[in-house]
Amino acid sequence: MVSIYIFETYLALRQYKNLKITNLPNQLNEFIEKDKFIKSQAYGRANQQLGLVTSTFDLLHTIFVLRWGLMPLLWEKSGQWLDQANMDSNDDILRAVVFTVAGTLYNFFLHLPFTLYDTFVLEEQFGFNKQTLQLWFSDQLKSFGLFIVIGLPLLAGILKVVEWGGVNFWFYLWIFTIAVSLFLLTIYPTLIAPLFNKFTELEEGEVKTAIYELAKKNEFPLTKLYVVDGSARSAHSNAYFYGFFKNKRIVIYDTLLKQVTKEELVSILGHELGHWKMRHTVVNMFIAFGYYLMFFYIFGKTLNTPDMYTSFGFDKQSAFIGLVLFSYIYSPVEHTFGFIMNLISRHFEFQADAFAVAQGYAMQLKDALIKISQENLSNLIVDPLYSSYHHSHPSLLERIKGIEAGVRRAR
């Protein structure tokens, strides 16, 4: 854990050197406004500084939790609270629910100063935050409500599968996780996302017509086209599609509509259709499912290892505690997998850009990426090692070079 912290801090310091550059590099001079560059550098430095503080705090806090046995203490307290409520403290699932709720509330209040600073100081300072404290608080209550309504039953389901599955529980847990993932992917856009944002169908006009023509040209089964009120919370912009089989829907942030022209917006959606055409989402899903299988298999071989429990101060074995402890032990693999997924994602981004270029949107996509990068104050000078470890998307300069190379190949 300490080694990961040292490595990530080393990467952050490498990137911080780039963020201190005040002169606009020649390769960006023709694309980026000088004042936007200076502001993006300041925004990047502010985020890095906050990130360094929070990561250091998290490391010290985690060491404190592990070294002084706060988890065994909370597990013991969870049993005592159940006894006081005249409930069965020997029921591991019930005890795990109490432990999880208490731990979630503890972590929420522990990180509350950092969260508030990030939203209402840092993001406010650079003109991104658009939400009021009341709206933020409302979002937190909704999130906690979803955690109670969806998260806790899923936790109980996971522990029930472990209890029921016997020695091969890891396989059944994998199947259960796949089913839950597909279920959540289905209900999130239509039931969960609307709790936080307002989705309205894009009004009739040239933009809607152009998008439907693009979808028809590529045989993309577009059934609905929505605009989401992202500006109610942030000035950042985005666009995405969702849906299974012949029921695809596209969602565009209202902030994006204000930042780009009709042609540029179509080029961005051409990029998104490239992801669909080359089945990037499906590939990512299968990779994730394969990763889950590896995780659960190793967890299955580790669950009944007594030393894992006694080393962390627990005197009895529990499937829930085993999962929590195994997640700590497994973190180096988790970080390695994240790095690999970023490499794959970056490759997919270049492929999606190439698809949009082949559709005839090279210059429009290039202009759109420049505008979005400037408006979102994206990092413009990126350390290669830092970027490959942290970023799922290539830098602006890398994407521009890729687009220009695609144009040259097409000639």
CA dihedral 172, 175, 176, 177 (to 10 degrees): 120
Q: Cβ of 196: how many Cβ atoms within 10 Å?
A: 16
**Which pair of structure tokens corresponds to residue 263?**
């042609």
36 Cβ partners below 8 Å, 6+ apart? 374, 377
Q: How far apart are CA 158 and CA 152, in angstroms?
A: 10
Q: How far apart are CA 76 and CA 261, in angstroms?
A: 59
Q: How far apart are CA 164 and CA 396, in angstroms?
A: 50
DSSP state of 239: E
Concerning whether 203 is annotated as a catalytic residue, the answer is: no
Closest to 284 in 3D by CA, of 366, 191, 353, 351: 351
Catalytic residue among 353, 375, 383, 398: 353
Instruction: Output 129-135 pairs: Cβ under 8 A, ≥24 positions apart.
Output: 129/233, 129/234, 129/235, 130/231, 130/232, 130/233, 130/234, 130/235, 131/232, 131/233, 131/234, 135/232, 135/233
Give me the helices (H) in 278-330, please: 280-302, 306-310, 319-329
227 Cβ partners below 8 Å, 6+ apart? 199, 200, 201, 202, 251, 252, 253, 254, 257
Concerning whether 83 is annotated as a catalytic residue, the answer is: no
Catalytic residue among 272, 349, 375, 383: 272
Give me the helices (H) in 199-261, please: 206-217, 254-259
Q: How far apart are CA 274 and CA 352, in angstroms?
A: 4
Sheet holding 248-253, edge to edge: 199-201, 222-228, 248-253, 239-242
Closest to 331 in 3D by CA, of 102, 62, 13: 62
Q: Strand 239-242 to strand 222-228: parallel, antiparallel, or no bridges (unpaired)? A: unpaired
Q: Which residues are catalytic?
A: 272, 353
